[in-house]
Amino acid sequence: SQQGEEDPQALSIQEGENATMNCSYKTSINNLQWYRQNSGRGLVHLILIRSNEREKHSGRLRVTLDTSKKSSSLLITASRAADTASYFCATAQGDSNYQLIWGAGTKLIIKP
């Protein structure tokens, strides 16, 4: 069962532009996490945001969380070719703050 659903499924932008990906979920969460997966590789943890937080930053990444709308967004500013990857959101819900349910991901392509 998928908890998070990313939108859009695919995104293609020019290098230097900002990229925004969205994640919606269905039930209340303890935390929401974003991961990156380069083609053929394992996933890499980017940011974790707790249910009582509204925004977090890490370098060129900005994550927001709106629990009233059950949604989160990941903003990558000043995109680079190396940002080309799939991005996944995952949510921890119920009694667990570590067991994750995953969305299907957004495929991001940065054109040089």
Q: Can you give the binding site for other proteins, defined by CB under 8 A?
A: 1-2, 4, 30-31, 33, 35, 40-45, 48, 88, 90, 92, 97-105
Cα–Cα nearest to 100, from 111, 88, 91, 108? 91
SS3 state of residue 26: coil
Of 42 and 112, CB closest to other proteins: 42
Q: Are 21 and 7 in contact (CB under 8 A)?
A: yes
Distance of closest approach, residue 16 Cβ to other proteins, in angstroms? 28
Whichever of 15 and 24 has its CB closer to other proteins, that residue is 24
- In the bound complex, what is the minimum distance in angstroms from residue 85's beta carbon to other proteins? 13
Q: How far is the CB of 1 from other proteins (least distance, A)?
A: 7
Distance CA 65, CA 53 (A): 7
13's CB contacts (< 8 A; 6+ apart) are 19, 79, 108, 109, 110, 111
Looking at beta carbons only, is 9 or 18 nearer to other proteins?
Answer: 9
